[in-house]
């Protein structure tokens, strides 16, 4: 993109309101409004599992070879906080995108309508087109597999969409946007596939707060010749 052919994007580093979908959606709306009105952003990226939450440190009553009833209520609460796609929560996010004029890319915990399996999913919600894409995490990492099912790669693709230029009120930009969730970024063949498809903006929602994560993002930007936007959840009270 040339200096006269740009968009402005924001990365939101904030945490879920635990087990409270309405409060989390209100938080999303407030932060999108800040990104639009204060920063002039046309695109906002939220962290992995921002809607539904990342169950860091929870066991749900399970250890290898044993399951305890003490974790059942925690799992029920977590399952109830997940969303269906499409569904009321997506309709609310579509409204936020439409009223703000912002493309929202966010991690969500998706609940399958039949069977009830949970997936770590990313959604793209456009201000005009509404829900224009979703993708499930291919391989949950380590103990995430206790609560999240695997994606099947059928939804692996770029999202091609149009956004207004931040440098010209009359110009719209056609963009190829991808999203790779957390430790999917350590899958070289997956990264290469997205590069081959022609990704221009590479979103990386995560909950990885290690210092080395920033190095990973810089490496991907150099390797893929693309812009990288990575959002990480932060601790309660941070935003």
In Å, how far are 18, 90, 129, 226 from 126, measured between CA atoms?
A: 26, 11, 5, 21
Query: How many C-alpha atoms does 150 have within 13 Å on its Cβ side?
Result: 6
Asked if 194 and 220 count as a contact pair (C-beta separation under 8 A), the reply is: no
> How many residues would you count in the chain?
239
DSSP conformation class of 71:
G
What's the distance, Cα to Cα, between the start and end of the chain in Å?
Answer: 32
Asked if 134 and 85 count as a contact pair (C-beta separation under 8 A), the reply is: yes
Active site residue 48: yes
Point out the catalytic residue in the list 48, 94, 110, 144.
48
Phi-psi region of 198 (alpha: psi -120 to 50; beta: other; left: phi over 0): left
CA distance 62 to 67: 5
Q: Which residue reads 């590479």 in tokens?
A: 202
List residues with catalytic annotation: 48
């Amino acid at each position: 993109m040339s200096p006269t052919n740009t968009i402005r994007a924001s990365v939101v580093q904030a945490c879920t309101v635990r087990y409270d979908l309405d409060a989390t959606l209100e938080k999303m709306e407030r932060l999108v409004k800040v990104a639009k009105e204060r920063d002039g952003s046309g695109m906002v990226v939220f962290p992995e599992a921002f809607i539904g939450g990342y169950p860091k440190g929870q066991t749900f009553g399970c250890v290898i070879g044993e399951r305890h009833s003490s974790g059942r209520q925690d799992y029920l609460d977590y399952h109830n906080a997940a969303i269906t796609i499409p569904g009321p929560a997506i309709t609310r996010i579509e409204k936020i995108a439409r009223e703000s004029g912002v493309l929202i890319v966010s991690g969500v915990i998706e609940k399958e309508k039949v069977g009830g399996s949970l997936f770590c999913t990313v959604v793209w919600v456009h201000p005009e087109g509404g829900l224009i894409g979703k993708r499930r995490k291919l391989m949950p990492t380590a103990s995430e597999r206790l609560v999240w099912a695997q994606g099947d790669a059928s939804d692996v693709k770029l999202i091609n969409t149009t956004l207004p230029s931040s440098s010209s009120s009359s110009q719209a930009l056609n963009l190829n946007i991808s999203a790779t969730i957390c430790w999917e970024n350590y899958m070289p063949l997956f990264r290469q596939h997205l590069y081959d498809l022609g990704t221009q903006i590479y979103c990386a929602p995560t909950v990885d707060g290690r210092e080395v994560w920033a190095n990973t993002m810089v490496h991907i930007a150099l390797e893929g010749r693309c812009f990288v936007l990575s959002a990480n959840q932060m601790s309660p009270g941070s935003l």
